[in-house]
Chains A and B, each alone.
Chain A
Amino acid sequence: MATEHAVPAPGGISCRELVELVTDYLEGALSEPLRARFEMHLAACLGCAAYLDQMRATLATLGDLAEDGVLSDVRDRLLEAFRTWSRRA
């Protein structure tokens, strides 16, 4: 149980509310006053700072999944179509 904060919650946002604002925060879609309160909470709350860190790590992992994975038979079929097209055109 975390006991390092006094009630009320920092920034006037509870942790439970903050996690629902994380995407809007990362997308730059929060209003300026709300962004300031979000960051005020974050600066005072280890749990939410860790949550945001986990979300950033999640995004980094998602970004690692991109790969050039077109099956070779699909590629061959498309190349065949391309060759037909370039001969005709």
Chain B
Amino acid sequence: MTVIDRRADRVARGDDPALLEALRARDEEAFVEIVSRHHRSMLRVAALYASSPAVAEDVVQETWLAVLNGLDRFEGRSSLRTWIFGILVRRARTGGQREARFVPFSSLAQQETAGGESAVEPRFFADTASSWAGHWVSNPRPWTGRVDQRLLTAETHAHVRRAIEALPSAQRAVIVLRDVEGWSAAAACEALQLTPGNQRVLLHRARARVRTALHEYIDGD
């Protein structure tokens, strides 16, 4: 294995120092790797601040240029991802404030965490008059085993995608970063500037809605 191969191998595994080293060496493969790793998440985050998808695209593109220009000065004290999303959020915020239809993310998060929203509709539970108050009227059935194969189909994926698109935007951003992209809670809080408590409320509501959509698809017919 050559030095280049070994570096490519570490880059592919998500090794930050290796990726940074390769980027600084002007390695095009490394740049493609980091773009494919983060670009879609960046669009999701930018969309929270921007008035249109086109504006979000612009902000993300500007962010990549800023990343390239800052690369040689980046000291690696935070992870590359944290650094990149920090630049993105700063740019998206200042860009967003200049626009008429700007909705601050903090107010979206506030709206979407306010009020009571049930993970499962109340009609699925026995009412307070019953001695079974709060118990399932009819027990949910496990999906594993019974529908494992079905969960893997393209049709199921399409249902889940539609359920995600239908979510309010702060919930959508949180579930995409956490459950689709596999981010940690801490990284999502940092990128979206959420408190851990609000992040969990948004995640909870988003997951509950996606489960409900899957339930309707799987158990509904």
Chain A positions within 8 Å of B, measured between CB atoms, are 1-2, 5, 7, 9, 14-17, 19-20, 22-24, 27, 29, 46-51, 53-66, 68-70, 74-75, 77-79, 81-83, 85-86, 89
Contact = CB atoms under 8 A, between A and B. Distances in A.
Nearest to B204: A23
Contact of A53 (B131, B144, B181, B182): B144
B135 A53 contact: no
B137 interface: yes
Nearest to A56: B144
Nearest to A86: B26
Interface in B7-42: 26, 28, 31-32, 35-36, 39-40
A16 B214 contact: no
Contacts of A61: 151, 156-157, 160, 214
Interface of B: 26, 28, 31-32, 35-36, 39-40, 57, 61, 64-65, 68-69, 72, 118-120, 122, 125, 131-144, 147, 151-152, 156-157, 160-161, 164, 175, 179-182, 185, 196, 200, 203-204, 207-208, 210-211, 214-215
A65 B157 contact: yes
Contacts of A16: 120, 122, 125, 134-135
Contact of A1 (B40, B120, B137, B185): B137
B68 A53 contact: no
Contacts of A82: 28, 31, 68
B40 A70 contact: yes
Given A61-B156, A61-B160, A75-B35, A7 B132 contact: yes
- By secondary structure, the B interface counts as helix
B64 to A, nearest CB: 6
Contacts of A48: 136
9 contacts: A19-B120, A47-B140, A49-B142, A57-B144, A57-B151, A74-B57, A81-B68, A82-B31, A82-B68
Given A64-B157, A82-B68, A20 B118 contact: yes
B204 A79 contact: no
Contacts of A49: 142
A79 B32 contact: yes
B214 A54 contact: yes
Given A51-B140, A64-B157, 15 more contacts: A14-B133, A15-B134, A15-B135, A16-B120, A16-B135, A22-B119, A23-B207, A27-B203, A47-B135, A57-B214, A70-B36, A74-B57, A75-B36, A79-B31, A82-B68
B71 to A, nearest CB: 8
Contacts of B161: 65
Given A1-B137, A1-B138, A57-B144, A20 B180 contact: no
B203 A23 contact: yes
